[in-house]
């Protein structure tokens, strides 16, 4: 083997050793990169699961909150409906009183007024058609006590559900059932509302 050939062979052997070392180093680097990639993938996966759980939690929280609001609104609407129904039932209970009790109530409503000034009592058609004799006699007795002004009953019916209007000169006293309930609205609603809204446990 000539000197040149010997040098060339040495270079080839050295190149082979260097190549092998580089290949091993490269393979090691690849394995390290794979391991890092695997760890990064697991990290991304865990972060993704945490984010997903957070989103699900927030979504569930929002859904629960929306459901609670809807439930509260539904209960509130039901209570408001109950209040209206109670008021309507109270009105109906007065309108459906037995005749004698109903006109006794009319006389009690008339009591605070100065009937000595006379005036005109206005009823709806239903009440005009059923004025009891004792009621008319009571009015007659009161008229006898008044020398000048008399209390009369208007022949024309008025558009009210019950109660009456008392017209005295230019003043009209509205004692219809509608007006009475409107006047006492807050007073009537307070005990009903207190019962219905006393506890909010069913809303939670």
Backbone φ and ψ for 121, nearest 5 degrees, come out as -90, 130
Going by C-beta distance under 8 Å and a sequence separation of 6 or more, which residues neighbour residue 150? 118, 143
Residue at token pair 């993704």: 48
Q: Given the DSSP bridges, would you call strands 151-153 and 119-122 parallel, antiparallel or unpaired?
A: parallel
Domain segments of the chain: what residues?
1-96, 98-187
Q: Is the pTM of this model over 0.75?
A: no
- Which CATH architecture does the domain made up of 98-187 adopt? 2-Layer Sandwich (3.30)
Q: What string of pLDDT tens digits covers the 204 residues of the chain?
A: 544 445 444 444 544 454 455 556 655 666 776 677 677 767 767 777 777 777 666 666 665 566 666 666 666 676 667 667 777 777 788 888 899 999 999 999 888 887 778 889 999 999 999 999 999 999 888 888 777 778 899 999 999 999 999 998 899 999 998 888 887 776 666 666 666 666 555 545
């Amino acid at each position: 083997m000539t000197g040149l050939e010997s040098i060339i062979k040495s270079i080839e052997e050295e190149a082979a050793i260097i190549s092998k070392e580089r290949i091993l180093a490269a393979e090691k680097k690849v394995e390290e990169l794979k391991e890092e990639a695997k760890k990064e993938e697991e990290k991304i996966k865990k972060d993704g699961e945490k984010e997903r759980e957070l989103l699900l939690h927030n979504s569930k929280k929002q859904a629960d909150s929306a459901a609670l609001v809807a439930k509260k609104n539904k209960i509130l609407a039901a209570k408001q409906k109950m209040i209206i129904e109670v008021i309507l039932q109270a009105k109906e209970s007065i309108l459906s009183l037995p005749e004698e009790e109903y006109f006794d109530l009319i006389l009690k409503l008339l009591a605070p007024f100065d009937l000595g000034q006379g005036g005109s009592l206005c009823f709806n058609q239903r009440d005009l058609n059923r004025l009891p004799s004792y009621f008319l006699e009571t009015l007659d007795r009161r008229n006898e006590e008044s020398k000048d002004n008399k209390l009369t009953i208007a022949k024309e019916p008025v558009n009210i559900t019950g109660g009456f209007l008392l017209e005295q000169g230019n003043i009209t006293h509205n004692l219809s059932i509608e007006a009475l309930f409107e006047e006492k609205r807050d007073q009537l609603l307070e005990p009903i509302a207190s019962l219905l809204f006393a506890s909010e446990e069913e809303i939670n």
